[in-house]
Amino acid sequence: MRSLAKRIYNRSVNRFFVRRASLFAARAAFSIVFFAAVLAAQPQEGNYKIRFEPTAKLQTGTRVPFAVTVTDDRQQPLTDAKVVLTCTEVDGSAEFEAEAFATTPGIYVAKPVFPKTGTWSIRALVTRNDKRSSRVIQFTVAE
């Protein structure tokens, strides 16, 4: 009789630990899948070559066209990209964005309006699919 009670006890203990192990394995699998999805959703470096410069005199109160030239890692013009210039005054007192639009393959034009004179840090952010690259250059805006 004692061995029967012992076998029943051992079975219930084994079932308990098997259930706990299964629950742990399910939680671990969910965590791995969740974090893999989060990492996959993060934009990857695009290795795009970005060149940009104003094509007119930098001044306040008027649209100043900036030509942004973007090529991919094979030096081919990058098409179908989203290009945004973020203009930040170096002292951090002002910031705004200007979206650039494609004019020819690999060439985009943005026309920011600078509210005041001074030194501005301009960041060109290029995004295409799940890849992005950026470049920052400082310019001085006169009246």
**Residue 142: what pLDDT?**
87
**Are 115 and 60 contacting, i.e. CB atoms less than 8 angstroms apart?**
yes
**Are 126 and 81 contacting, i.e. CB atoms less than 8 angstroms apart?**
yes
**Residue 26: what pLDDT?**
62
**Residue 29: what pLDDT?**
63
**Phi, psi for 62 (deg, rounded to 5):** -140, 155
One DSSP character per residue, 34-67 reads HHHHHHHHSPEE---EEEEEESS--BBTSB--EE
Q: What is the pTM of this model?
A: 0.71
Q: Report d(CA 141, CA 8) in Å as an integer.
A: 85
**Residue 143: what pLDDT?**
79
**How far is residue 57 CA from its own chain's centroid?**
31
| CA geometry: angle 35, 40, 41, nearest 5 deg | 100
> Going residue by residue through the chain (143 aa), what tens digit of pLDDT does each one get?
567 766 766 666 566 666 666 666 667 666 666 655 555 556 788 899 999 999 999 999 999 999 999 999 999 999 999 999 999 999 988 999 999 999 999 999 999 999 999 999 999 999 999 999 999 999 999 87
Q: Enter the tokens of residue 43.
A: 């934009």
Q: Report d(CA 99, CA 70) in Å as an integer.
A: 14
